[in-house]
A and B are shown apart, each in its own frame.
Chain A
Amino acid sequence: MTKEMTGAEMVIQALADQGVQHLFGYPGGAVLPIYDALFHQEKVRHVLVRHEQGAVHMAEGYARSTGKVGCVLVTSGPGATNAVTGLTDALMDSIPVVCITGQVPTHLIGNDAFQEADTVGITRPCTKHNYLVKRIEDLPRVLHEAFHIAASGRPGPVVVDIPKDVQFAKGTYSKPKEFAHTGYKPRMKGDLEKIKHAISLMAHAKKPLFYTGGGVINSGKAASDLLRELVKLSGFPITSTLMGLGAYAAADPQWLGMLGMHGTLEANMAMHDCDVMVCIGARFDDRITGRLDAFSPNSKKIHIDIDPSSINKNVKVDVPIVGDCAHVLEDMVRLWRTQAHQPDKTAQKVWWAQIDKWRARKSLAYRPSNEVIKPQYAIQRLYELTKDRDVYITTEVGQHQMWAAQFYGFQEPNRWMTSGGLGTMGYGLPASVGVQLAHPKSLVIDIAGEASVQMTMQELSTAVQYRLPIKVFILNNKYMGMVRQWQELLHGGRYSESYSEALPDFVKLAEAMHAVGIRCEKPGDLDHAIKEMINVDRPVLFDCVVDPAENCFPMIPSGRAHNEMLLGDAAEKLEDAITEEGKMLV
């Protein structure tokens, strides 16, 4: 079906045809024709943000919690440059986002026109792909292509830069067609011979381990289901990266907790000691591997990833399998069921006994207090009081993020939205707005820090405007906690600029923004205050005043390997505790 319309109308029509229901944006001179086209229709609902960075984070939250593409509309120049942080965040965490930017008219491009920026130049390294559409004839194809590229393969952000004259120009619109591009064909099915090899390695393993990541979540619900099936069939332990939380149920006994810099002792020790590592949809990031030359020295490594450039980037693997997690897992489950070789049950028993010893160290333990709220306790209570609900969690970046990952048990995929790769402070609040919009009936909580939340605070107004009852649960320790922790451990306790000076009164601030403010300072009041927060059907800023000196443990110190973890002083001491040398590090 083809139809004559303006470029601006094509944008809206293409969004509608791509199934976009919500568009996060901010108007400006170079996108006024598109805003005019928005005004005349009811297919796509626009959400007015307060800053373009917030728009992209909202789209990310929306995308991550639904599996759909998040969509953003911003103006030229500052609109586009403000979106850059969000786009980079989406690229690092493989979140599908389409961002439409206005541009000055084609004849002014390169002229330093008002609100002109080289958007495709600036966003080239922070998008999966980007376009400058100079001809109306190209617009419908490019718009549809943008959605295809954002969502397929390893997902990511795509920018479509549309000059104002192209928005006004008339042309023929065409519906989405089958995408045919010889240069872009993500591989879905894995090489069967390699999968067979992987299965045979797994079947002969004595100390096997699954290490999964955000790729399993991106691959869809089926991937998580198949992963659960394979983990159950094999009886192997499983750990996951920050981005992969929820793909496997945290309540299951085979779950070891998160791995990496602030992962559990059992997860990291298992990574170090395993003989077969099955990495699914994770990328051996430096927060995961620690010291590379001491990373899991004795294991055969199987790596499943849809992006060939993730394979052998940091760590050389033995069995690389390029393909979509769900497709490969399907083959693996089938082959595991039909294979002749029986896994070594005795060896696995020994392996699990070793893991249980590590577990007994209780690496997440902390010293409870009746006087001050321990941040870990706050997350534990939040989890206990919300776990039976339909709940989605977002976070900012820092200590609170790690505590959320450690103490909030995620049982389902797509329930956990956090900025992993880029580590963007200010991600959580706008992301929660996007999540709440996609799931109006659910409980959406942004676990925040008092420093991070001030970076995108203004989006609370967006939540109020659209009656989105997000809960911003601030662990307020009056410090940029992770910065303070590093300064304490590595820079002689010189807390250079990490104190949160001149903090706002969050309760009054909430009230001034027409939201609800709650403050809690005593552990004894916490349950009641959390219940109050849950029961308010409006946006809430919850100022949870916590112990300012608490550090996030366990931790792999810099330049160290997985088996050289630093534990908090509340963890169980055993003969193979951290060496004196290790302690000297702090």
Chain B
Amino acid sequence: MNAPTTSHYPSAPTEQRAETHTLSVLVDNEPGVLARVIGLFSGRGYNIESLTVSETEHAKHQSLITIVTTGTPMVIEQIKNQLDRLVPIHRVVDMTSVGNSIERELAMVKVRGKGEQRVEALRLADAFRARVIDATTESFVFEITGASGKIEQFVALMLPLGLVEVARTGIAAIRRGPEGL
């Protein structure tokens, strides 16, 4: 039996296993729509691991928001239902439970160094199929695309070689095969 409390609210539930899900959210491209989505997450205490927003089809005035979030299965279901309730949101698709989806992100990685370090950075970039998009005699900016794990691995390798900064786009996701969202 629970210990007596001095609160008139039920005690917090015991922690359950959290899952990571990627949600594709199709919205009307109108002012404030992103604020509605973010406000929902912060207001209800949901996590945002990654968030990507961009207009998809200009003529339709629609944008695609890709959100990576973590939570218990019950919380993930809540997030989807709460998002679906927002008026400017057309569709919410859980790419993780639909399965068979591709997730990619792009990162630009600035590395500064000379001599052997510089050569090593370039060699590793080649192995990761990262492209050099800017170079000076003492620095490179690499462009790398791939799954988040690959980018994190690349960044970790660049750290001892003079990593200056990283700019990542966040995740974009799409389903494999001929079907649309």
Residues of A within 8 A of B (CB): 120-121, 124-125, 128-129, 132, 149, 181-184, 261, 286, 289-293, 307-309, 311-313, 316, 486, 490-491, 557-560, 581, 584-585
The reply to whether A124 and B35 form a contact with Cβ atoms under 8 Å apart is yes
The reply to whether A132 and B85 form a contact with Cβ atoms under 8 Å apart is no
Could you write out 21 A-B pairs with CB less than 8 Å apart?
A120-B32, A124-B32, A124-B35, A183-B28, A183-B87, A261-B8, A286-B9, A286-B10, A291-B11, A293-B13, A308-B84, A308-B85, A311-B81, A312-B77, A313-B74, A313-B78, A490-B6, A558-B4, A558-B9, A559-B5, A559-B10
Chain A residues closer than 8 Å to B85, beta-carbon distance: 307-309
Chain A residues closer than 8 Å to B84, beta-carbon distance: 308-309
Q: Which of B4, B13, B28, B82 interacts with A292 by CB under 8 Å? A: B13
The reply to whether B87 and A184 form a contact with Cβ atoms under 8 Å apart is yes
Residue of B2, B10, B86 most packed against chain A (CB within 10 A): B10
Using A125-B43, A181-B87, A286-B10 as known contacts, say yes or no to A560 and B2 having CB atoms under 8 A apart.
yes
Chain A residues closer than 8 Å to B77, beta-carbon distance: 312
Chain A residues closer than 8 Å to B88, beta-carbon distance: 183
Q: Which of A311, A312, A490, A559 interacts with B2 by CB under 8 Å? A: A559
Using A307-B85, A558-B4 as known contacts, say yes or no to A124 and B90 having CB atoms under 8 A apart.
no
The reply to whether A559 and B3 form a contact with Cβ atoms under 8 Å apart is yes
Closest to A482 in B: B8
Chain B residues closer than 8 Å to A308, beta-carbon distance: 81, 84-85
Closest to A134 in B: B31
The reply to whether B2 and A183 form a contact with Cβ atoms under 8 Å apart is no
Complex Cα–Cα for A184 and B28 (A): 12
Residue of A121, A557, A558 most packed against chain B (CB within 10 A): A558
The reply to whether B6 and A309 form a contact with Cβ atoms under 8 Å apart is no
Closest to B1 in A: A581
Contact of B7 with A by CB under 8 A: yes
The 8 A-B residue pairs whose C-beta atoms are closest, nearest first, are A309-B81, A183-B90, A559-B2, A129-B87, A559-B5, A308-B81, A490-B6, A558-B5
Closest to A586 in B: B4
Chain B residues closer than 8 Å to A309, beta-carbon distance: 78, 81-82, 84-85
Residue of A307, A308, A311 most packed against chain B (CB within 10 A): A308
**Which parts of B92-118 form the interface with A (CB within 8 Å)?**
none
Contact of B89 with A by CB under 8 A: yes
Contact of B175 with A by CB under 8 A: no
Chain A residues closer than 8 Å to B6, beta-carbon distance: 490-491, 558
Contact of B123 with A by CB under 8 A: no
Contact of B150 with A by CB under 8 A: no
The reply to whether A557 and B4 form a contact with Cβ atoms under 8 Å apart is yes
Using A309-B78, A312-B74 as known contacts, say yes or no to A559 and B39 having CB atoms under 8 A apart.
no
Closest to B12 in A: A292
Complex Cα–Cα for A261 and B10 (A): 11
Contact of B36 with A by CB under 8 A: yes
CB of B36, distance to nearest CB on chain A (Å): 6
Complex Cα–Cα for A354 and B26 (A): 52
The reply to whether A584 and B4 form a contact with Cβ atoms under 8 Å apart is yes
Chain B residues closer than 8 Å to A311, beta-carbon distance: 81
Complex Cα–Cα for A491 and B4 (A): 12
Complex Cα–Cα for A468 and B137 (A): 84
CB of A132, distance to nearest CB on chain B (Å): 7
CB of B74, distance to nearest CB on chain A (Å): 6
Complex Cα–Cα for A120 and B85 (A): 18
Using A149-B87, A183-B89, A316-B74 as known contacts, say yes or no to A124 and B36 having CB atoms under 8 A apart.
yes
Chain A residues closer than 8 Å to B28, beta-carbon distance: 183
Closest to A581 in B: B1
CB of A578, distance to nearest CB on chain B (Å): 13
Q: Which of B2, B4, B39, B89 interacts with A124 by CB under 8 Å? A: B39
Chain A residues closer than 8 Å to B10, beta-carbon distance: 286, 289-292, 558-559
CB of A517, distance to nearest CB on chain B (Å): 35
Complex Cα–Cα for A293 and B87 (A): 34
Known pairs A183-B88, A585-B4; list 18 more (Cβ under 8 Å): A124-B35, A149-B87, A182-B90, A183-B86, A183-B89, A286-B9, A286-B10, A289-B10, A292-B10, A293-B13, A307-B81, A312-B74, A316-B74, A558-B6, A558-B8, A559-B2, A559-B7, A560-B2
Q: Which of A181, A559, A585 interacts with B11 by CB under 8 Å? A: A559
Chain A residues closer than 8 Å to B89, beta-carbon distance: 183
CB of B40, distance to nearest CB on chain A (Å): 8
Chain A residues closer than 8 Å to B5, beta-carbon distance: 558-559
The reply to whether A486 and B8 form a contact with Cβ atoms under 8 Å apart is yes
Closest to B82 in A: A309
Complex Cα–Cα for A307 and B85 (A): 8
Chain A residues closer than 8 Å to B39, beta-carbon distance: 124-125
Chain B residues closer than 8 Å to A312, beta-carbon distance: 74, 77-78
Complex Cα–Cα for A581 and B3 (A): 11
Mark contacts of B60-90 with chain A using CB atoms, 8 A cut-off: 1 yes-contact digit, 0 otherwise.
Answer: 0000000000000010011001101111111
CB of B43, distance to nearest CB on chain A (Å): 5
CB of A38, distance to nearest CB on chain B (Å): 28
Chain B residues closer than 8 Å to A557, beta-carbon distance: 4
Chain A residues closer than 8 Å to B87, beta-carbon distance: 128-129, 149, 181, 183-184
Closest to A184 in B: B87
CB of A568, distance to nearest CB on chain B (Å): 18
Complex Cα–Cα for A290 and B4 (A): 13
Complex Cα–Cα for A121 and B42 (A): 14
Complex Cα–Cα for A491 and B81 (A): 39
CB of A383, distance to nearest CB on chain B (Å): 28
Chain A residues closer than 8 Å to B82, beta-carbon distance: 309
CB of B66, distance to nearest CB on chain A (Å): 17
Closest to B9 in A: A286
The reply to whether B35 and A121 form a contact with Cβ atoms under 8 Å apart is yes
Closest to B92 in A: A183
Chain A residues closer than 8 Å to B1, beta-carbon distance: 581
Complex Cα–Cα for A585 and B7 (A): 12
Chain A residues closer than 8 Å to B27, beta-carbon distance: 183
Complex Cα–Cα for A286 and B9 (A): 7
Complex Cα–Cα for A350 and B60 (A): 62
CB of B101, distance to nearest CB on chain A (Å): 22
Closest to B40 in A: A125
Chain A residues closer than 8 Å to B78, beta-carbon distance: 309, 312-313
